């Protein structure tokens, strides 16, 4: 089977040559990288988590001027201006909206579908995936713990085996730890419609991330991308995977500080948890935009070890496609070679 057949459903859903979504990375996934991914045959996604509705509108319009191909917008469901951000997408006819960061309200799904947009949601479990399908989402992304940024507890390979055979109604895209074309083919043959890659695109030449941020990625190994640890069950902090540095240690210190202030009655639990979450927003900008790779957050997936140099986005995608096609061709050839061998009794059985 050819690659185009394996991800035909995903390509049709996205309106792209390749069913490869760019992961929405705050401060990284902006007009330059997003348009470059779409121009190279993939599907770029704008990260709206750190910008206002006005800035999102500017970003969408600027991206549209840089590509004639489809692209989407990622919106955090907990955003206080969720409805306004969707209105911006509606006004600018954004074809696909990715609702991330929690169970989306039914009203948000209806709002996107109401203007003709497609809704894509993340699911960390099979049960939630089934619920989202019933709520009317048009596609799902399952992202394993190998991914960068906020992560769940289950690996990509386990989630894929659990979810793909059980949900057939909508296209499903796989994310987390994918850095080569062979992995893409593997998930497609399991039933995925496509994949999402984030970390792999950080060191694209079109990426506006600071050069020191990119160099940290190029130097890193898979084991350097570690998940943060929750120190107190009263503070259900979502783990974040990032390259270990001073900021990692400071996050632990921030948790201890908040725990101490709650214990002393200086702050309530909700306030403290919000402070803990805000830590990452500020420190990520410090690293990506300002280049402070010691005191800023270096959010990265474990596929970071597969990045060895800065490349154009087109070269990255072309490389993935070549790897995928070579893997498919070698698999077919191996099957033909095995079929031509004389069968022993053991082989017949």
92-146 pLDDT per residue, tens: 999 999 999 889 999 999 999 999 999 999 999 999 999 999 999 999 999 999 9
Q: Which two tokens stand for residue 146?
A: 């190998």
9: left (phi over 0), alpha (psi -120 to 50) or beta: alpha
Residues of the chain with CATH 3.20.20.70: 3-207
Give the whole-angstrom CA distance, residue 64 versus residue 61: 5
The whole-model pTM stands at 0.92
pLDDT tens digits, one per residue of 154-209: 999 999 999 999 999 999 999 999 999 999 999 999 999 999 999 999 999 999 99
CATH architecture under which domain 3-207 falls = Alpha-Beta Barrel (3.20)
pLDDT on residue 185: 98
* Cα separation, 71 vs 21, whole angstroms: 9
Q: Which residues contact 130 (CB under 8 A, 6 or more apart)?
A: 166, 167
């Amino acid at each position: 089977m050819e690659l185009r057949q394996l991800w035909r459903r995903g390509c049709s859903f996205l309106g792209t040559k390749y069913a490869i979504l760019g992961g929405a990375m705050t401060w990284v996934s902006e007009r330059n990288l997003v348009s470059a991914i779409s121009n190279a045959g993939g599907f770029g996604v704008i990260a709206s988590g750190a910008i206002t509705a006005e800035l999102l509108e500017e970003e969408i319009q600027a991206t549209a001027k840089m590509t004639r191909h489809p692209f989407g917008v990622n919106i955090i469901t907990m955003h206080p201006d969720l409805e306004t951000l969707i209105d911006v997408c509606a006004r600018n006819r954004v074809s696909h909206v990715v609702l991330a960061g929690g169970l989306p309200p039914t009203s948000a799904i209806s709002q996107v579908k109401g203007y003709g947009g497609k809704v894509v949601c993340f699911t960390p479990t099979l049960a939630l995936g089934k619920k989202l399908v019933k709520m009317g989402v048009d596609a799902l992304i399952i992202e394993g713990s190998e991914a960068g940024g906020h992560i769940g507890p289950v690996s990509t390979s386990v989630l894929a085996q659990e979810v793909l055979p059980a949900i057939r109604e909508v296209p499903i895209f796989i994310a987390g730890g994918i850095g080569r074309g062979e992995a893409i083919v593997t998930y497609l043959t399991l039933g995925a419609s496509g994949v999402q890659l984030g970390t792999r695109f950080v060191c694209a030449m079109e990426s506006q991330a600071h050069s020191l941020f990119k160099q940290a990625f190029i130097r890193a190994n898979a084991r350097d991308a570690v998940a943060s640890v929750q120190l107190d069950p009263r503070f259900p902090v979502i783990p974040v995977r990032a390259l270990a540095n001073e900021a990692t240690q400071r996050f632990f210190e921030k948790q201890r500080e908040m725990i101490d202030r709650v214990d002393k009655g200086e702050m309530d639990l909700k306030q403290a948890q919000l402070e803990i979450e805000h830590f990452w927003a500020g420190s990520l900008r410090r690293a990506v935009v300002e280049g402070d790779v010691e005191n800023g957050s270096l959010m990265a997936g474990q596929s970071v070890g597969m990045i060895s140099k800065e490349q154009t986005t087109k070269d990255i995608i072309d490389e993935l496609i070549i790897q995928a096609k070579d893997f498919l061709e070698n698999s077919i050839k191996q099957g033909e070679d095995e079929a031509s061998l004389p069968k022993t009794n053991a082989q017949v059985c």
